[in-house]
């Protein structure tokens, strides 16, 4: 299944929008899905194409997360 990542929480629960089934012959019951919530405990992996990852945003978030407590805003 592929889709647009909408949100992920601390339990790795994932909400996808604009879902498409990769193998509709194997999973015909999923063809009608438009949006999907996947429970984190069943997620095996998430693959995001590198060109869709905002590395500056991730680096800034990491810097803020690792900053000393006195410098956090």
Answer whether residue 35 is part of any domain: yes
Q: Supply angle C-alpha 42, 46, 49, rounded to 5.
A: 165
CATH number assigned to the domain comprising residue 8: 2.30.30.100
d(CA 7, CA 14): 6
At residue 73, does pLDDT exceed 70?
no
Phi, psi of 24 (to 5 degrees): -65, -25
Answer whether residue 10 is part of any domain: yes
CB of 5 closer than 8 Å to CB of 38: no
d(CA 40, CA 15): 10
Is the Cα torsion angle 52, 37, 34, 31 positive or negative in sign? positive
The model's pLDDT over 13-51, given as tens digits with 9 standing for 90+, comes to: 999 999 999 999 999 998 898 999 999 999 998 888 888
Where in the sequence is the domain holding 37, given as residue range(s)? 2-68
Answer whether residue 73 is part of any domain: no
Looking at the 3D structure of the chain, how many domains does it have? 1
């Amino acid at each position: 299944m592929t889709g647009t990542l909408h949100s992920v929480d601390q339990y790795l629960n994932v909400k996808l929008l604009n879902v498409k089934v990769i193998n509709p012959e194997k999973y015909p019951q999923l063809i009608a899905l438009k949006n999907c919530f996947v429970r984190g405990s069943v997620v095996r992996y998430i693959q995001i194409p590198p060109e869709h990852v905002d590395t500056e945003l991730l680096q800034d978030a990491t810097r803020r997360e690792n900053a000393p407590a006195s410098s956090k805003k």
